[in-house]
Chain A
Amino acid sequence: MTKDSKPTLAARRAFLAKLGGAATGAAVGAAALGILPAASARTEAPSAGASFPTKDYDWTKHQWGFGVDANKCIGCLRCVEACKKENDVPGNAHQFRTWVERYVYLEGEDHVRIDSHQDPVNIAASGSEKEYRFANRYKDAKVDKGFFVPKLCNQCTHPACVQVCPVGATYRTKDGVVLVDPTYCIGCRYCVQACPYGARLFNEEKGVADKCTWCYHRITKGLQPACVEVCPVGARVFGDQKDKESPISLFIRNNRVQVLRPESGNAPNVFYVGIDKEVN
């Protein structure tokens, strides 16, 4: 074992990055003198003291985190509704930045039944694709166990979606949110494919990739993400991990939390409580 006990995948990735960087530098550096130095000079941070990205908000002072307590979720889907309105997500059942999955184990069955608001039965129960509701489809069934799991972008520390973007249209901010620059996005959808959580969508109205931003325009103004704001049961928790008394710090400290698909190497930042082995 290495002394810093990094996961082997991350260690291998770091090693390959260094190797690749050295090789490229050696090969290209000599040939294209003047290009790379100019580029690297511009990666320097601007003068200290200037607050970025807004004058009241400095992204180096925050590290956002998100918690989901599936024990509390009642599947009312108000978060899905609020997210759609807050972020102008296309008003249909199949494009969404956040969603809720229902897991139901029926007596005598050896598999779990999973559905979300886009299931035809649930669309029929809500009356339209612009309203969101879980049909009470298991009310007469013998339910062994059932629960709801809210899902959203994990804002990974090593996001696969950012790695595959060919034009630098998606990136991870210093305060820990993965954003899409809609003016640079060419709509190739590599990122939609790359995300192991299916968290990205292609916004056909705008022709660009779209994703949950933890409501970056709200959190930089001191508000909570819209889904957290409207959750009536406190199943969604949000806060600054740099503040040891913030809701998310307390949530992580006071619960045994887990993340989805840790083996993917993306290092997700949405922490779950109360989920089952079937949830990933």
Chain B
Amino acid sequence: MPKHIFRLLALIAAGLVVAAIAKPLLTDSSFYRYGHYRADSVPEIAAQEPVYQTPSYCQSCHTERHAQWSASNHKTVVCEVCHGAAKGHPQNGKLPIPKDTAKLCTLCHEAMPERPRTQPQIQVAKHAGGQQCNVCHNPHAPKIAAAATKVTGNEAAGKERAAAACAGCHGADGISPNDTWPSLAGQNAAYLVRILAAYKSGDQTDAAMTPLAQALSDGDIQDLAAYYAGLSCKATSGGKVVGDADRGKLLAKNCASCHGETGIGSNPAWPILAGQKPGYLANVLKAFKAGLRKDPMMASVSRGLSENDIADLAAYYAAQSCQSTKQGKAKP
């Protein structure tokens, strides 16, 4: 064999030997275990920690919020969509409560022609007049309580029923003689129907009201609501005022979008507060705060109110006239 050929072959052979020795040394031991890749990379990737934790993680501490949310229309929107990923919470601090709900909520609810018709959508410019969404909607239970319940009652029949069942506490003409019981005269009929039905069904309870409401038929409730709604309310409540009405006026701005500036709102499913007994107003707010009265919206707005705030709000609404703004105020 010529020398130069031998050298060439020897070089190739030496190269093959080096390759044969180097390859197993340079290749990860798990490389061919399942195929042409490093098998150890699979458990490495699988070992990453999840960032999004799922609602059951939140439930263990935020039980009440979780229960409210999971019963609402928003139950498909998990906690971390709005509050951010929960990894590191609570150890590393609080998760954000979204401030700019007008921006957040419209991600899903801004009316767009390309969105499916089944998605609830709003015309942003017309819907809320630039207000934040959580002024009226509770994000954990966004649906607003039954808009205008139908009222079909008979006033005369209601008058008879009221004389027998209600007048003892609420007054012969719907004006309560007592500071802790509400006046009913001139109240929204739809609200009266809703609340009487709630007492009857047990959704709302009261030592005095529950047995009385349970004795009423649905027709009786309609008649009573029509009767009391038709009565004239007094200009002032006449109850004992302990709070500061001027301070209450400032606080009441937070309530105005539903209950109106002076306590007369636009939706008949919500109560008129103007001219109501201050003791009653304060008691109801305390009951919402304590969870004795159940309403998702009122629960969240009353949570931040102090005893003084409640007294001031009650004083403010008690001092408003239930009639003076009634004509001009009616919105379409």
Interface, chain A (partner B; CB < 8 A): 31-32, 34-35, 38-40, 42-43, 45-46, 52-54, 57, 59, 71-78, 82, 85-86, 102-104, 133-134, 136, 138-139, 141, 143, 146-148, 168-171, 173-174, 179, 181-184, 213, 215-218, 220-221, 223, 226, 229-230, 232-234
CA distance A173 to B116 in the complex (A): 36
Residue count of chain B within 8 Å CB distance of chain A: 43
User: B28-42 toward A: CB 8 Å interface, digit per residue (1/0)?
Assistant: 000111111111011
- Shortest Cβ gap from B37 to chain A (Å): 4
Q: Which of B75-83, B191-199, B264-272, B294-302 contacts A (4 or more CB under 8 A)?
A: B75-83
CB distance from A211 to the nearest CB of B (A): 11
The answer to whether A229 and B45 touch (CB under 8 A), given A42-B32, A148-B114, is no
Residue B110 lies at the interface, judged by CB distance under 8 Å to chain A: yes
User: How far apart sit A215 and B20, CA to CA, in the bound complex (Å)?
Assistant: 38
For B307, what are the chain A residues with a Cβ–Cβ distance below 8 Å? none
Q: Of B43, B107, B111, which is within 8 A of A133 by CB?
A: B107
- Decide if B112 touches A136 in the complex (CB within 8 Å): yes
For B41, give the chain A residue with the smallest CB separation.
A181
A54 to B31, CA, bound (A): 17
Query: B2 contacts the other chain (Cβ, under 8 Å)?
Result: no
CB distance from B162 to the nearest CB of A (A): 47
User: Complex: how many Å from CA A215 to CA B46?
Assistant: 9
- B41 x A183 contact (CB < 8 A): yes
State the CA gap A35–B43 with chains docked (Å).
Answer: 28
How close is B12's CB to chain A, nearest CB, in angstroms?
9
Q: Which of A74, A103, A217 contacts B108 (CB 8 A)?
A: A74
Contact A71 B116, CB 8 Å, known A86-B52, A139-B111: yes
Minimum-distance CB pairs A-B, first 7 = A146-B114, A217-B48, A171-B37, A181-B41, A143-B113, A53-B42, A53-B43
**A-contacting residues, B68-97, CB 8 Å:** 76-78, 80-81, 84-85
Which A residue's beta carbon lies closest to that of B20?
A: A35
**Shortest Cβ distance from residue B236 to the other chain A in the assembled complex, whole angstroms:** 48
Q: With the chains together, A45 CA to B32 CA distance in Å?
A: 10
* Inter-subunit contact A183/B116 (CB<8 Å): no
The answer to whether B52 and A85 have CB atoms under 8 Å apart is yes
When chains A and B are docked, how far (Å) is the Cα of A218 from the Cα of B54? Answer: 11
Contacts A85-B85, A133-B107, A146-B114 known; A217 to B34 CB distance under 8 Å? no
Given contacts A86-B50, A141-B113, contact A230 B81 (CB under 8 A): yes
Question: Does A76 contact B35, Cβ atoms closer than 8 Å?
Answer: no
List of B residues within 8 angstroms of A73 by Cβ: 116
How far, in angstroms, from A216 to B41 measured CA to CA in the complex?
12
Complex CA distance for A87 and B3, rounded to whole angstroms: 61
Are B107 and A78 closer than 8 Å at their CB atoms? yes
B108 contacts across to A, CB distance below 8 A: 74, 76, 232
Q: Does B16 sit within 8 A of A, measured CB to CB?
A: yes
- A134-B51 contact in complex given A39-B32, A184-B38, C-beta closer than 8 Å: no
The docked-state distance in angstroms from the alpha carbon of A85 to that of B38 is 27
Q: Does B37 lie within 8 Å of A134, measured CB to CB? A: no
- In this assembly, does B331 line the interface, its C-beta being within 8 Å of a C-beta of chain A? no
Q: In the complex the two chains form, is B114's CB within 8 Å of A43's CB?
A: no
Does B52 contact A57, Cβ atoms closer than 8 Å? no
Q: Find out whether the CB atom of B114 lies under 8 angstroms from the CB atom of A102.
A: yes
Chain B residues, Cβ within 8 Å of A174: 34
